Amino acid sequence: MLANAVVIPMSAWVARVLGARQAYIYALILFTTSAVICGMVQSIGVMIFFRILQGIGGGVIMPVTMLLMLDLYPLEKRGLGTAIWGMGASCGSLTGIPLGGILAEQLSWRAAFYANLPPGVIALLIAIFVMRPSPRERQVPFDWGGFITMSTALITLLVALSNGQREGWTSSYIVSLFVISGVGLAAFLVLEPRVKTPMIDLRAFRSPPYVLAVILSLIAGAMFTAGPFLLSLFLQRLYDLSVQQAAMIMFPSSAFLVLCTSFTGWASDHMDHRPLMMLGYLCYATFGVLMVFADLRFTPFVLLVIYFGRGLGLGFTYSVLYPVGISGFDPARAKAASTVLNLCITLGGTWAVAIVAAILDQRQQIRQAWLAETQQLTSVGTQQALQTLEATATQMGSAVPPALHANVLLGRLINQEALILAFNDAAALFIVISLCGLVLVPFFRRARPTSSVNRS
Same domain, 92 and 184: no
Alpha helices (H) in 192-296, listed in sequence order: 208-238, 243-268, 274-292
Tell me how far apart the alpha carbons of residues 61 and 26 are, in angstroms, rounded to a whole number.
9
Residue 315, domain member (yes or no): no
**CA distances from residue 11 to 67, 117, 299 in whole angstroms, order as listed:** 10, 23, 44
The predicted pLDDT at position 453 comes to 46
Residues 45, 99, single domain; the answer is yes
Contact criterion met (CB below 8 Å) for 285 and 434: yes
Looking at this protein, which amino acid is placed at residue 402?
Answer: P
- Cβ atoms of residues 230 and 281 within 8 Å: no
Considering the domain architecture, whether residues 53 and 154 belong to the same structural domain is answered as no
Distance CA 68, CA 66 (A): 5
Q: Answer whether residue 200 is part of any domain.
A: no
398 and 384 co-located in one domain: yes
Q: Which of 92, 123, 138 is the last residue of a domain?
A: 138
If you ran DSSP here, which 8-state letter would residue 77 be given? G
Q: How far apart are CA 440 and CA 212, in angstroms?
A: 7
Domain count, the chain: 3
User: Residue 407, CB half-sphere, CA atoms under 13 Å: how many?
Assistant: 6
DSSP 327: T
CA distances from 32 to 124, 281, 372 (A): 10, 36, 52
pLDDT tens digits, one per residue of 389-415? 566 666 666 665 666 656 666 667 778
Same domain, 68 and 187: no
Is residue 388 situated within a structural domain?
yes
For the segment 310-369, what is each residue's pLDDT rounded down to a tens digit?
888 888 888 788 888 888 787 777 777 888 888 888 888 888 888 888 888 888 888 878
35 by DSSP, 3-state: which? Answer: helix
Query: What single DSSP character describes residue 1?
Result: -
Q: What is the pTM of this model?
A: 0.81
DSSP state of 123: H
Q: What is the pLDDT of residue 454?
A: 46
Give the closest residue to 64 by CA, choosing from 52, 56, 76, 75.
Answer: 56
12 and 127 in one domain? yes
* Claim to verify: residue 132 and residue 165 sit in the same structural domain: no
Residues in the chain: 456
Q: Which of 92, 118, 138 is the last residue of a domain?
A: 138
Q: At which of 138, 156, 182 does a domain end?
A: 138
First to last CA, the chain: 35
Q: Which residues of 146-160 are buried (b: 16+ CB within 10 A; e: fewer)?
A: bbebbbbbbbbbbbb
Q: Do 62 and 151 share a domain, yes or no?
A: no
* 97 domain residue, yes or no: yes
Residues 6+ apart with CB under 8 A from 118: none
If asked whether residues 63 and 190 sit together in one domain, one would say: no
| 110/100 Cα distance (integer angstroms) | 10
Main-chain phi, psi angles of 182, to 5 degrees: -65, -40
- For 241, the 3-state DSSP assignment is coil
Q: Is residue 284 part of a domain?
A: no
Domain membership of residue 232 (yes or no) is: no
d(CA 327, CA 320): 11
Contact (Cβ atoms closer than 8 angstroms) between residue 233 and residue 360: yes
How many CA atoms within 13 Å lie on the side-chain side of 324?
32
Both 22 and 118 in one domain: the answer is yes
Task: State the residue range of the domain holding 168.
Answer: 144-194
**C-alpha–C-alpha distance, residues 75 and 153, integer Å:** 34
Secondary-structure percent of the chain, ordered helix, strand, coil, rounded to 5: 80, 0, 20
Within this chain, do residues 27 and 69 fall inside the same structural domain, yes or no? yes
Angle, vertex CA 35, rays to CA 340 and CA 127, nearest 5: 65
In a domain, 30, yes or no: yes
Q: What is the dihedral of CA 108, 50, 127, 136, to 10 degrees?
A: 170
- DSSP class of residue 446 equals P
> Which stretches of the chain drop beneath a pLDDT of 70?
1-2, 74-76, 78-79, 88-102, 104-105, 374-411, 448-456
Q: Centre a 10 Å sphere on the Cβ of residue 380 and count the other Cβ atoms it contains.
A: 8
Residues 150 and 101 in one domain: no
Alpha carbon distance 441, 135 (integer Å): 36
CATH number, domain with residue 68: 1.20.1250.20
Q: Is residue 39 part of a domain?
A: yes
CA distance 326 to 304: 35
